[in-house]
Chains A and B, each alone.
Chain A
Amino acid sequence: MLRVEGLSKHFGGFTAVDNVDFSLEKGEILGLIGPNGSGKSTIFNMLSGTLKPNAGSIQLEGKEIAGTPPHAICGMGVGRTFQIPRPIRRLSILENAALAGYYGQAGAVTREQAWRSAEEALEMVGLPTNADASIDTLGAAGLKKLELAKALATKPSLLLADESLGGLDHSEMDQAADMLKNIRAELGITIIWVEHIMGVLMRVVDRVMVLDHGEKIAEGRPQDVAADPKVIEVYLGSDADEVAAAASRA
């Protein structure tokens, strides 16, 4: 459903993403990993329309979307979450999701339908659907769930999850990972999951793509990628143990 070819992005003289190709089948969960500054977020922002690529193409269901503004990409069925949750604090939890439900479906729905998609999305991620619960009642894990609910309320066919589970404890991480699995199973949504921490991700994804310095250095099944010497080298040092742990889990 998604085909990315020769995608590149420079910031001044710095090459953040260099000639990256990948594609995605319907219903797949693709993990996108790499150390800090490897270009994950830049790719993510180009997919969601926040950044314009300098070169390359992004085709969604055969349609070129590179350089399309974010709201239009959202309207085409691409939902995204933000790494650091960005709720609208002056709206309630339900209103946050309902806003996404209304505008994310390109205004082609009634208010009632928007509110219903919002409630469904909140239920899916396990948040309360009562009308005026304030954002302030949510903790770190709750805010991440709301990010997901907002993206789901737009009824996406492709979900870009900038999960970054740092800041959550182990049970919360597992919960979040299971949630993505459920979303795929129940709603048939294709997912790209961007993550810095490898462990939990490996358990859920069908395929992993590893980035380093803006280049794709490995791609394949989680267990193969985790055993790849290039990947181990990239993660060597601070994350070496984690790679080993991930390999054993996978």
Chain B
Amino acid sequence: MNSKLLIAVIAAILVALPFIGLDSYPLHLVIVILIWSFAYTGWSIMGRFGLVSLGHGAFMAIGGYVTALLWNELGLSPWIGIPVAMICAGGMAVLIGYPCFRFRIVGHYFALVTLALSEVVRQVIIATRDTTGGSLGYTPERHGDGWSVIALQSDDRTIFYFVALFVWMAGIVIWRMVDRSMARYALEAISEDEDASAAVGVQVTKEKLKVTVLSAVMTAFAGAMYCQYQMFISPDTIGGVGISLQIVFAVVVGGIYNSLGPTIGAVITLLLAEVLRIWIGTEAACITDKICLNVAGVPLLVYGIMLVLFIIFLPKGIVGACADRWRARGNNGALAK
């Protein structure tokens, strides 16, 4: 099929989605998937170049908490709060990234440093519980009923759906812009051989920092969006190691080298999480009155098994594997002619 036609059809379906009588709950799922997709896309922008960050939960938390705190404590509208949160996340990315890149902390060591960042930010939130509510979470104050432009709040899901759809599309566009830029070649080269890249004039530290800041800022934006939509954030729902790992897992499942990979990853993992939650529940399952299993850990177990299977059998993710299959078929067709 003509790919332009396909895109037009998908776009039409997406625009029509809230008007075809979709229930509140499915629409909620779609919105959540779109917001997370944007975060995952942000992660994969750097992750695809071997910059595996386990610290994106921190950026997401910064995005959500800074926006909400500025609103509640200082009455600053999210229109100002979100940019401030994004600047904070970008600053944090430089603070962590610069020393790492300058002193060549790469691969597993980079992952470990960023892992620590996740936990540090989570601990800071918990330690400042008098202000942030700690692990109990935090709620931005409602600004009247219905739709408030200044507070970026809405109890109308349809409006939020279109905001999330726009943001998600912007994420895909940014991914593609990076993909087509010269920076992509530089980053591919850097991920393979830093010295050889520097020898042809590539500023290794600067290129890595640029993409890291972009990725962090996007993730922070996703955190702020999530906060504005859910009207509740806690260290476990948008921060910490758990969220950082969730991001990595979803992108690996979907496909790290395709613009739509993170989105497909979000669809699969979030739906899976919903299904497991509804199916298994969150209560403890008791075999006898003395032996109880905490089934809340079951989704994590399923995630873990799937992650291992994907890394072994589908390292390029679902979208990557499909693209390869498609390309191979195309080549065979050409040969047959």
Give chain A's interface residues, CB within 8 Å of chain B. 48-50, 69-71, 74-75, 80, 82, 86-91, 95, 98-100, 102-107, 111, 114, 150-151, 153-154
Shortest Cβ distance from residue B58 to the other chain A in the assembled complex, whole angstroms? 30
- Nearest CB in chain B to that of A98: its residue: B185
**Residue from B193, B195, B200 whose CB has the most chain A CB atoms within 10 Å:** B200
A-B contacts, 30 listed (Cβ < 8 Å): A48-B199, A50-B195, A70-B195, A70-B198, A70-B199, A71-B198, A71-B202, A74-B199, A75-B201, A82-B195, A82-B196, A88-B188, A88-B189, A88-B196, A88-B197, A90-B188, A91-B185, A91-B188, A99-B197, A99-B200, A103-B197, A103-B200, A103-B202, A104-B200, A104-B201, A105-B201, A111-B182, A114-B182, A150-B200, A154-B200
Q: A89: which B residues are within 8 A, CB to CB?
A: 192
Other-chain residue from B200, B203, B204 in contact with A100 (beta carbon distance below 8 A): B200
When the two chains form their complex, are residues A71 and B201 in contact, meaning their CB atoms are under 8 A apart?
yes
CB distance from A247 to the nearest CB of B (A): 34
Asked if A103 contacts B186 (CB within 8 A), the reply is yes
Q: Using known A-B contacts A71-B204, A102-B182, determine if residue A82 contacts B189 with beta carbons closer than 8 Å.
A: no
Complex CA gap A107/B200 in Å reads 11
Are A86 and B193 in touch, CB under 8 angstroms?
Answer: yes
Q: State the total of A-B contacts with C-beta under 8 angstroms.
A: 71
B196 near A74: Cβ-Cβ < 8 Å: no
Interface residues of B (CB under 8 A from A): 182, 185-186, 188-189, 192-193, 195-204
| Complex CA–CA separation, A82 to B198 (angstroms) | 12
Residues of B within 8 A of A111 (CB): 182
* Given A91-B189, A99-B189, A103-B186, A86 and B195 contact (CB-CB distance below 8 Å): yes
B199 touches A80 (CB 8 A): yes
Contact status A74-B195, CB under 8 Å: no
Q: How far is the CA of A31 from the CA of B202 in the complex (A)?
A: 28
Closest Cβ of chain A: how far from B229's Cβ, in Å? 38
- Knowing A95-B185, A103-B186, A111-B182 are in contact, say whether A88-B192 is a contact too (CB < 8 A): yes
